[in-house]
Structure 1
Amino acid sequence: MQAAGMLKLLSFLPSGVTKRIVQSAVLIRNPYILGVRVIVEDASRQVLLVRHTYLEGWYLPGGAVDRGETLEQAASREVLEEAGIEAEGAPRLLGMYLNREATGRDHVGLFHLSAWKEAPAYLAPNSEIAEARFFPIDMLPDNLSPATARRLSEFRDRAFPSGAYW
């Protein structure tokens, strides 16, 4: 089954079950996961958030680093795939974190991207992303993931990193 078909099938399950299935499948392929999340800022200093088709809530765009890919390359690729945003220059690394809440094996590189341009699929939904939108940093949606809320609070206060855990 192709990835898009699998995501559609998983979208019918409760989000907790879907999360466990996705994490388990990833662990079989790679027991240690390196991922990225990206704070994308527009000209008016609003930040980009995405809603996945298979999870509830709003998240920073991001995902796993592919084999042979640098963290910076993964950050640029993920924002292009998830939001149709093409990086102009390298995203800036803000910090590295251990994500104890997922598998206890995930490490997440957090990046900031402010120089970018719209690509053809700009903010368009796809099989993974139900919605992508920019929000004022002081008017974020209520249903942020806890880690997203922590990282954006740190970003707003320019307090990186506040700890070693995602």
Structure 2
Amino acid sequence: MAVHHRLIGRAARLVWRVTKPRTIGVRAVLLEQHDLIALVRHTYTEAWSLPGGGVKKGESVEAALLQELKEEVAVVDPQIERVLGVYHSRREAKDDHIVNLPLARFQTLHVIFRRQDPMEVAEPRWFPLDQVPASTSAATARRIAEYRSGATELGAW
């Protein structure tokens, strides 16, 4: 895990405790046609999670998602299927809202990932949708289960 990302994260959490910012994030359920799901392991955590990130001021949810996918897994021009859910998180002293969007399945077997930003992404990988690793974050596991059940959700991240 990158030491500077840990330090930046700690500093950010201190600022957030004071400022309590409202933030918006996006995550993607990125699937390949043979039921493989894309997960990433960031340099600042050991858990696997859905690709995504924060929405910058003046940026749309769609534009943010497309930018994050390009940066994290080098996927460009995916088709968004629908909104899977909108969630709320009070972790890290933020008032965070996360929009989760499933993407149309890729028509190729095993799109090859390239880490565009190796300082942020330690590893991107495909996993069978029904065999995600035990080290997958709890929120990611819930989002995958919701996707598999066809549910559209509102609630806690």
**1:4-83 to 2 correspondences below 5 Å:** 8-11=2-5, 13=6, 19-24=9-14, 31-83=21-73
Change (3 A) 1:101 1:115: same
**1:73-152 to 2 correspondences below 5 Å:** 73-90=63-80, 92-114=82-104, 122-125=112-115, 126-152=118-144
1:111-135 per-residue CA deviation (whole Å, 9 max, x = no partner) reads 11125699xxx52231100100111
| Greater relative contact order structure (CA < 8 Å, 6+ sep) | 2
Q: Secondary structure of 1:86's partner?
A: coil
| Equivalent residues, number | 152
Q: Which of 140, 147, 150 matches 1:158? A: 150
What residue identity is the alignment partner of 2:87? Y
List alignment gaps of at least 5 residues for structure 1.
1-6
- Give me the whole-angstrom Cα distance separating, in 2, the residues matched to 1:25 and 1:83: 29
Whether the 8 Å contact between 1:98 and 1:105 is mirrored in structure 2 is yes
RMSD of equivalent CA atoms? 2.7
User: TM-score with structure 2 length normalisation?
Assistant: 0.83
- Give me the whole-angstrom Cα distance separating, in 2, the residues matched to 1:149 and 1:18: 26
Whether the 8 Å contact between 2:80 and 2:101 is mirrored in structure 1 is no
1:129-160 per-residue CA deviation (whole Å, 9 max, x = no partner) reads 01001111111001011100111111111122
- Give me the whole-angstrom Cα distance separating, in 2, the residues matched to 1:23 and 1:92: 32
- Give me the whole-angstrom Cα distance separating, in 1, the residues matched to 2:100 and 2:11: 24
- The alignment-based identity, stated in percent, is 34
- Give me the whole-angstrom Cα distance separating, in 1, the residues matched to 2:121 and 2:106: 19
List alignment gaps of at least 5 residues for structure 2.
none
What residue identity is the alignment partner of 2:3? L
Q: Secondary structure of 2:91's partner?
A: coil
- Give me the whole-angstrom Cα distance separating, in 1, the residues matched to 2:23 and 2:12: 13
Runs of 4+ in 1 over 6 A off after TM superposition: 26-30
1:81-113 per-residue CA deviation (whole Å, 9 max, x = no partner) reads 100011234453211110123334011000111
1:28-70 per-residue CA deviation (whole Å, 9 max, x = no partner) reads 7881111111110111121110000111110101111012111
What residue identity is the alignment partner of 1:55? T
Whether the 8 Å contact between 1:38 and 1:61 is mirrored in structure 2 is yes
